[in-house]
Every structure is written in C-alpha cells, then in structure tokens.
Chain A
Amino acid sequence: MSDTTQDGQVLTTQDGKPLKAALAKALRREKLRALMLIAPLLIFVLITFVAPIVDMLFRSVENGIVSETLPETVVALREWDPASGEAPDEAVFVALYNDMVIAVAEKTHTRLGSRLNYEQSGISSLFRKTGRRIKRMDEGGPFKDQFLSADKKWGDVATWQVLQQFSPSYTDGYFLNAFDAKRGAEGIELKPADERIYMFLFGRTLFLSIVITVSCLLLGYPIAFLLAALPLRTSNLLMILVLLPFWTSLLVRTSAWKVLLQQQGVINDFLVWANIISDSGRLVMINNQTGTIIAMTHILLPFMILPLYSVMKTISPTYVRAAKSLGANDWTAFWRVYFPQSVPGIGAGAVLVFILSIGYYITPELVGGTSGIFISNRIAYHISSSLNWGLAASLGTLLLVAVLVLFVVYDKIVGIDNVKLG
C-alpha cells in the first residue's frame, strides 16, 4: 500500500495530518490503553515474581563480601604472588589488622569466615578464633607474628590464595562448583571424582523426569480417552476419581505409597501370601528410583489427564466414524485420524508434567532413598541447611537454563503453538 496519491500528494486526514501518522498514533493509543488494563497484573508479576527470581539468580555471581569486609587487605594483597610459596609480608598483615578491628566491631568477620569456608574448610574457625584474639593484639605490631600465633593457618599460602582469588566483587566460583569444577593451579579443572555430584544429579533429574512424563502419558492417555468417550454422567463420576487424589495432601499420598511399597508393606505381604515371591525375596520398591518414579507418576498424573481430556473432548467423533465408513479398521482410524488430533493435548500434558517433575523435591526426599533424589534436593539443602545461597542460585540458574533450552528444542520439534490446554 502506498501513502501517496498518484500525483505525489500525501494522503491526509481531515485536519491535515498525514494519514500514516494519524493511524500510528491511534494504534499506539490503543496499545497503551491495553497496557494500562494489564498494568496491575504486569506490575504485580514483576514485583512478586520476576524481581525476586532475578535477585536470587544474581547471587550466583555476587561476591562483594570479601572486599566489603576487608577493603584494605584486598588492595594490599594485589601485589602478592601465590607462586612465591610464602605468606604475604607485614604490610598485608597491617591492612588485615586494620580491617579486622572494624569487622570485629561490626561482627561481620564470622560472616566472611563462613562465606570463605565454602571454598576451603577451616577458614570459618580461623576467622572466629582470630576475631576473639584481635582485641588482645598489640597495636604497635609486628602483626604477622601476632596473627601467626593466633592461628598458624595465617602462614599458609592456601589461605591467602583463597582470599586473593575471591576478592573481586563478582565470582564464577559458584558456577564452577555447580559444574563440578574448580580453579586449580593450571586454570579450570574438574574436581576429584569423589566430589563430583551436581552434573550427575542434573543428568539423573532429566532422565527420571522423562521416565515420569512417559509413564504419565502411558497411564493417562487411555483414561483421558475413556473419559472423553463416555457419556457425561459416567465420565463426571470418573473425573471425580481422577481429581480426588489431586485434592489430597501431597504428604499423605507420599506416605500412603510408603505403606504400600515398603518391604513389610501391603504389596509385598500380598505377593508373599500368594506365593509369588519368597519371604526372604521381598521386593525393594521404595527408597530407590522405583519409589520416586511410582510416587511421582501418581502425583503428577492429573496434570497429564486434564489437558488430554479437554483436547479429546473437542475431537468430533464424526471424523473417526467417517474414517471407518471409508474402510479403515479400528486401529487405523485411531492412529491416522484420532491420535494426530490429540497431539496438542499430549504436548501440553507432557510439558506440564516434565517441568513440574524437574523441580520436585519433597517426594524424592521422602521415597527416593539415595538413588532417587533430584538436583532440587541439593538446592534445598544449600538454601536451608548450608546457607550457601550462591551455590543454590547457580544450580537454580542451570536448572532454569536447562528447562528453557528444552523448551526451545520442543518448540523446534513439535511447535509451541501445537500445545493446547483445551
């Protein structure tokens, strides 16, 4: 479309403004009005959802505590070369004394100690002990000897190396840790095999989530199909059976699985009674991966059935009837005509179940034993027990990135517009 007439004159509105600008203005106003309407929700989501997440994720690189607590020491330490194999000289210890006096008065030295203890065991008590001694130190110096007599760890190169390495305000240390790596003498290297855990847990989380999603689909599809095919009265009754566990507390359902699956539990007792297994050969079905898969499949099943059902409800039965009248057998009619129409429901259900299960931690903690726990269990540990929020944040970031990548892959393969909740 052109905005000029044939003789080159610009099209205008009645009051002489160019038509294009007037239209754009009207559209802009329209958009603004729409934005105003959703503004309350948008602001609410930004403040209560996006901002806290961003703030939490930021902790994975934030490391201001060293330079804030020991500002002079950090500057003095820049000159020191760890390759020298000796602890820094008196000048650094003078700076350390000055910083520590302030830190002890503000009681921030122990906080720094626990931060650096994540990097090297023993620093926590080093700072606690030194903090108690600082008041008794001779203000005239020499400080190096006094610090060394407070704790001989101040003479270790390793202690100072950690301080120097973590003095910048931003660090990649948490992320390295999340990748089971560390900064060694020759750059970044993998940790020793007996300390690697996170990458393995990420892999297991993804694997188990896929298994759970697939088993939800296998169990959920026939049920949704049945629900959609039955007359409304019967299907409503069945729907209540699907929703009833959904409304029951998660902990109750998980504990119920314990009663059923444990070695002295209902299922094993029945199998022994029926002479299918011997009393000494009772099956181990809980406190391992099997337990996690069974319990989580049960818990997440409604999230698969509901989208499937609502999509199947919209598939007109006339298509299948038409296919059959054209000579298709039951299987062909289902597979070639019905199934493709239900794919959007499968997509929605699978994405929902997968994303929910990837972040689950209560159920794996209770029934997963050691082989069925997820990466989220470690994140929960670092949030609530070790207080290593930086590491928890970097693990969380990785999990978020993994989900986004999978989402993009899903979009490429299946297409995100091919997802329907009803």
Chain B
Amino acid sequence: MKLRTVILAGTAMAFASSAALATDLTLVSWGGAYQASQKNAYTDPYMKENPDINVIWDESSAEAVAKLRAMNEAGNVTWDLVDVVASDAIRLCDEGLAIEIDPATDLAAAPDGTSAADDFGDLLVSECFIPQIVYSTTFGYRSDVEEWGGKEPSNICDVFDLETFPGKRSLEKRPINNVEWALLCDGVPKEEVYNVLETEEGLARALAKLDTIKDNVVWWSAGAETPQLLADKEVVIGSTYNGRLFALIEEQKQPVKMLWDAQVFDLDGWIIPAGLPEDRLAATKKLVKYATDTQRLADQAKFISYGPARKSSAPLVGKHATLGIDMAPHMPTDPNNAKNTFLYNYEWWADYRDDIDAKFQAWLTQ
C-alpha cells in the first residue's frame, strides 16, 4: 500500500512538473543536413520566442507513412508535425491519417498581403500538405573521366549514351523518374510521357530503353548513396537530390558537376497527423504557421540548397550561412538551372505507383 502511494505520487509529480515546464512537440524529419536546416531556420528561433514550447526531433520521415498508420490504429499518435514528400502526403491524406489544412487560417499570408493560397500556388498539391521546399532529382557527373575525352554530358539522354560516356551510372531503385527519363530519351514529347506510360506498350518501351544501360547501373535506395558512389569513382554519373550534390560539390569539393537537364521537381513539406488532442493541435498549428512564413522559408535556404516553396521567399534567399557563397545559382528553381524541367504528375503516380512498381521490380530481377 505504501509503495503504491509513493509510485502514484511520483507519477503525478512527474506529470505536473512536465506540464508546468513546457509543451513538448515532436517533429519528424529526415535527419542529417536537412533536419539541421529546419532546426536552424524554424525551431530554434521559435523556441527562443516561445520558451513554453520544447521541440523534440524524431528522424523517422523515411518510414513515416507506415508508422503513422500503426499509431493511428493503436489510437496513440505521438507525433505532432511530420515532414514528408508530397506523394506520401497525398497517400496519408487519402488514408485519413493527416488532417486537412485551410490555407486562409492555418498559414501566414505573405508580407505584401498576398494570401497563402496564392503565394504557394500550385504547390498545394493535397488538402493536407503544407509545402516547404522545392527539391529536384537530377544528375551529377564526375568531371575527370578520361574515357570521355574532354566531353561532358549536357543532355539527359547522355545518361543513356554508353558510347560517348562509358562508365557506370547510379539510378534510384524505383520506377518514378527513371521511366519518365527513359521515355523522354526514346523520343516521347514531354507532355505525352504520362499518356504513353499509362499503356502496357508505353511501360514496355520505357523498360526497353532502360535495358540498354541496365548492366551498367548501380541501383540506390538512400539519397546518400549516389554522392558516395561518385566520390568513390564507383559511378561516373548518377541521380540523386540536388541538395546532396551541392554538399558533395561545394562542401566536400569533389570534381563533380551538375547536369540540370530534365531535372524533376518534387516537394517536401509538413502534414499534421489526424487524432491529436486539442491542446497539442493548437500548439502545432501555431508552430507550423510560423515555420512556413515567408522569412522562415527563405532562411532555410541559407543552410541547404533547396528552393523555398513560397514565391515571396525567393527574393529573400541570401548567402550560405557558413560557406558564404551565393545560394540562388544553386537553387533548382534558378532560371539557369530550370531551362528544361520535367513536371512530376502526383495524381498520376498515386494511381499507377503500385502497378508500375510491381512490373519495375519484376523487370529488375530478370
């Protein structure tokens, strides 16, 4: 009896003290340089202004979709704000695992008064999604390959040209982006790509094009692999996220250059999980409104080379916080880099992802 009293009192005290000290908010992100940029640009200044909020980071974004579903089924959602890519946000929204956002009330307007809905524009690809950054999946190549005889790839189709540019390539171990690039280089016009892919013959055509380089491909599943493979000279050209290549080129000074041609824009942003209690939901909404305002999104670009998702943030992008170089030319959205971009079709992939992935994996194992 006595022991029980002690335990009860202890638990009660623990609860009381934590409530009195601060509200803990758990933010989920990708870890590494990206999470550090979010911490520097959003949460550190926010916690300074709001001492009653304590942000805890969880590096689980890669498995966020499955974990959110498990939490939701168990009726115990322990995350408050989750960083996911747009396609995952659509999936979470469809599954009812994320709440819908009203841009008018939940997001801050631009300094000049433009509404959040207009400021983000087309990037609000799902009712649940709050975009943060535009990143692109694109290629980097080694600039010191002797066999190339001084030539450098300038076109996406050079990836498929083993004669002029021999050597291994690294591509992501999933169909998204790869099948689109393959069709583009098989002569399909940009605007026709998804219509062609929708047919059996179209996918077969894309896989046939990929077949021409299949023996020379190292397949990656984590974004850090291509930079490592390029640095180790394991591959001469490889696809990955542009921020990873920026770190490889500008921070690690490797002889690698960017091939921006046919880069595929994608979005990363926040979702708020469904099923949060009132008080935590209110605290989360307050934080997210602050973290996605014009200045905060521009600040993030000081730490990582991803483009802010708001139009109004673009003019505010400055220099890198430690390297001191101008960040604008390293943004995927910079006019020089975005001469030829490919628009990723979220809705289409939400429909065809499972089917095409099954066929793609079967093709990989052949």
Contacts and interface: CB of A to CB of B under 8 A. Distances in A.
B218 interface: yes
B219 A125 contact: no
A201 B352 contact: no
Interface stretch (B90-98, B148-156, B334-342): B90-98
B350 A124 contact: yes
A200 to B, nearest CB: 6
Given A196-B362, A387-B91, A107 B96 contact: yes
A384 B350 contact: no
B251 interface: no
B22 interface: no
A371 interface: yes
Contact of A383 (B66, B95, B96): B66
B311 interface: no
B359 interface: yes
Interface in A360-400: 365, 369-371, 373, 378, 381, 383-389
Contact of A387 (B66, B96, B232, B358): B66
Contacts of A370: 173, 219, 364-365
A262 B91 CA distance: 37
A125 B351 contact: yes
Interface in B203-236: 204, 218-219, 221, 232-234
Nearest to B222: A366
B362 A385 contact: no
A121 B351 contact: yes
Interface of A: 107-108, 110-111, 113-114, 117-118, 121-125, 128, 194-197, 200-201, 262-265, 287, 365, 369-371, 373, 378, 381, 383-389
Interface string B62-78: 11011001000000000
Contacts of A263: 168, 234
A197 B69 contact: no
B354 A128 contact: no
Given A110-B96, A122-B351, A124-B94, A264 B362 contact: no
Contacts of A262: 232, 234
Contacts of B50: none
Given A111-B94, A124-B94, A194 B65 contact: no
Interface string B160-200: 00000000100001000000000000000000000000000
B286 interface: no
B357 to A, nearest CB: 7
22 contacts: A107-B96, A111-B95, A117-B351, A123-B351, A124-B351, A125-B350, A125-B351, A194-B204, A195-B358, A195-B359, A197-B358, A197-B361, A200-B365, A263-B234, A264-B234, A287-B219, A365-B221, A369-B218, A370-B173, A384-B66, A386-B354, A388-B354
A121 B95 contact: no
B102 interface: no
Given A369-B219, A383-B66, A387-B65, 20 more contacts: A108-B96, A110-B94, A110-B95, A121-B351, A124-B94, A194-B362, A197-B361, A197-B362, A201-B365, A263-B168, A264-B233, A265-B232, A287-B219, A369-B218, A370-B364, A373-B365, A381-B357, A385-B65, A386-B354, A389-B69
